[in-house]
């Protein structure tokens, strides 16, 4: 939600000085300062802070507030399919994942370096969870991120290609190529039309040329989904670009969705019931 556009600054003379300060802060859209004014003033009195310490504290509350609003906004714009954090991921359940590699990815240096990340493995092992969690980390660090499932991308791509107005194609292409980090979830085998194959290739090529990172997840080996790009030479060219700068995480464990069932089974075995 954008801030109210202010055409004139009418500062009222009514009320106490504090009320006037608060209403001016609201008028200027300085909500972080307004909401922390009481605390910061109290702290300054207690600590007998200098004026500059007081102002610094107040201003830094505004920075923190604005930053948290930015993060909220960018998370909304990323359109993640759900909200996932790295802290919620139980690494002990998935020993095939090297925690150090994920920790390194969480630093988001791979985004600075324009590297891709591939999460491969059967359903339920946490590929989408880790992708979204890395997307959130990227946003925290100031990189724009955008999430698409391949299904959705194909649906939107087909629509945009059939729409006579080029603006819808351009908008979709920009949404896929502008963000520093793109997440393409659930890459699978699809028989794409020639135009759609070309469209998908153009996305990969543009992101490669601009050194922008893409996280891809799939439960298929990548030679099984290269037909996405249609013609085989184009598919090779797309894969070459994806794989040139890449971190591949192969997850080989059990689905987390059956975790509870597995735990129950272990209890039954331990108690000797079967
Ligand atoms: P995939 O994308 O590999 O099919 P998901 O990431 O969708 O799997 O995981 C399925 C569900 O299980 C999600 O709700 C996810 O948050 C959860 N999950 C998967 N692995 C773990 C894990 N190791 N620790 C905590 N939750 C997990
Ligand atoms: Mg998934």
Two tokens at 60?
């830094």
Two tokens at 141?
């660090």
Ligand nearest to the CA of 90: 1
| Cα 103 to ligand 1 centroid, rounded to whole Å | 17
Two tokens at 196?
């759609």
DSSP H stretches of helix in 99-193 = 99-106, 109-112, 127-140, 150-162, 166-177
* Residue 54 DSSP symbol: H
| Cα 122 to ligand 1 centroid, rounded to whole Å | 11
Q: Is 97 a pocket residue for ligand 1 (Cβ < 6 Å)?
A: no
The rounded radius of gyration (Å) of the Cα atoms in the chain is: 25
CA distance 36 to 64: 11
Q: Is 127 a pocket residue for ligand 1 (Cβ < 6 Å)?
A: yes
Residue 82 CA neighbour count, 13 Å, CB half? 9
Q: Which ligand 1 atom sits closest to the C-alpha of 97?
A: 23
Mean pLDDT, rounded, for 225-229: 82
Torsion, Cα of 194, 197, 203, 207 (10° steps): -130
Q: Which ligand 1 atom sits closest to the C-alpha of 84?
A: 16
Q: What stretch of H or E contains 56?
A: helix 51-78
Residues 140-154 as b/e (b if ≥16 CB within 10 A, e otherwise) read eeebbbbbbbbeebb
* Segment 6-55, tens digit of pLDDT: 566 666 678 899 999 999 999 999 999 999 999 999 999 999 999 999 99
Torsion, Cα of 35, 39, 44, 50 (10° steps): -20
Q: Which of 83, 85, 124 to mutate to test the pocket of ligand 1 (most atoms within 8 A of CB)?
A: 124
Model confidence at 210: pLDDT above 90:
yes
- pLDDT score at 224: 83
Mean pLDDT, rounded, for 112-140: 97
pTM passes above 0.85: yes
Judge whether 184 and 150 are in contact, CB under 8 Å: yes
Apex 146 CA angle, 142 and 152, nearest 5: 175
According to DSSP, the residues that pair with 215 across neighbouring strands are: 117, 183
Two tokens at 36?
């922390």
Q: What stretch of H or E contains 201?
A: helix 194-209
* Segment 87-103, tens digit of pLDDT: 999 999 999 999 999 99
Q: Is 134 a pocket residue for ligand 1 (Cβ < 6 Å)?
A: no
Closest CA to 138 of 98, 172, 183: 183
Residue nearest atom 1 of ligand 1, based on CA coordinates: 124
Neighbours of 259 (CB within 10 A): 13
Pairing of strands 116-120, 181-187: unpaired
Mean pLDDT, rounded, for 117-136: 97
| Cα 22 to ligand 1 centroid, rounded to whole Å | 46
* Segment 179-202, tens digit of pLDDT: 999 999 999 887 788 899 999 999
Q: Is 128 a pocket residue for ligand 1 (Cβ < 6 Å)?
A: yes
Residue 175 phi/psi, 5-degree rounding, is -65, -30
Please state, rounded to an integer, the average pLDDT across all residues of the chain: 91
Q: Which of 250, 256, 259, 261 to mutate to test the pocket of ligand 1 (most atoms within 8 A of CB)?
A: 256
Q: 214 by DSSP, 3-state: which?
A: strand
Q: Which of 95, 126, 131 to mutate to test the pocket of ligand 1 (most atoms within 8 A of CB)?
A: 126
């Amino acid at each position: 939600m954008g801030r109210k556009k202010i055409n004139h600054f009418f500062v009222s003379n009514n009320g106490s000085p504090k009320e006037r300060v608060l209403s001016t802060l609201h008028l200027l859209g300085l909500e972080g300062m307004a909401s922390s004014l009481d605390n910061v003033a109290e702290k300054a009195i207690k600590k007998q802070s200098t004026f500059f310490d007081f102002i610094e504290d107040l201003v830094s509350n505004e920075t923190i507030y604005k930053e948290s609003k930015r993060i909220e906004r960018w998370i909304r714009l990323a359109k993640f399919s759900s909200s996932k954090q790295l802290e919620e991921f139980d690494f002990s359940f998935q020993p095939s994942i090297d925690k150090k590699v994920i920790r390194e990815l969480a630093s988001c240096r791979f985004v600075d370096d324009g590297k891709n990340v591939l999460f491969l493995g059967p359903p339920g092992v946490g590929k989408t969870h880790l992708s979204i969690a890395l997307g959130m980390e990227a946003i925290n660090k100031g990189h724009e991120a955008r999430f698409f499932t391949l299904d959705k991308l194909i649906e939107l791509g087909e629509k945009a290609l059939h729409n006579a107005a080029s603006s819808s194609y351009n908008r979709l292409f920009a949404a896929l190529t502008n963000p520093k980090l793109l997440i393409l979830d659930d890459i699978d085998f699809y028989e794409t039309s020639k135009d759609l194959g070309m469209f998908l290739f153009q996305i990969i090529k543009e992101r490669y040329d601009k050194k922008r990172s893409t996280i891809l997840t799939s439960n298929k080996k990548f030679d099984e989904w290269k037909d996405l790009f249609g013609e085989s030479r184009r598919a090779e060219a797309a894969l070459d670009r994806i794989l040139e700068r890449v971190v591949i995480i192969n997850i080989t464990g059990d689905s987390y969705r059956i975790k509870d069932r597995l735990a129950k089974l272990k209890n039954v075995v331990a108690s000797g019931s079967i």
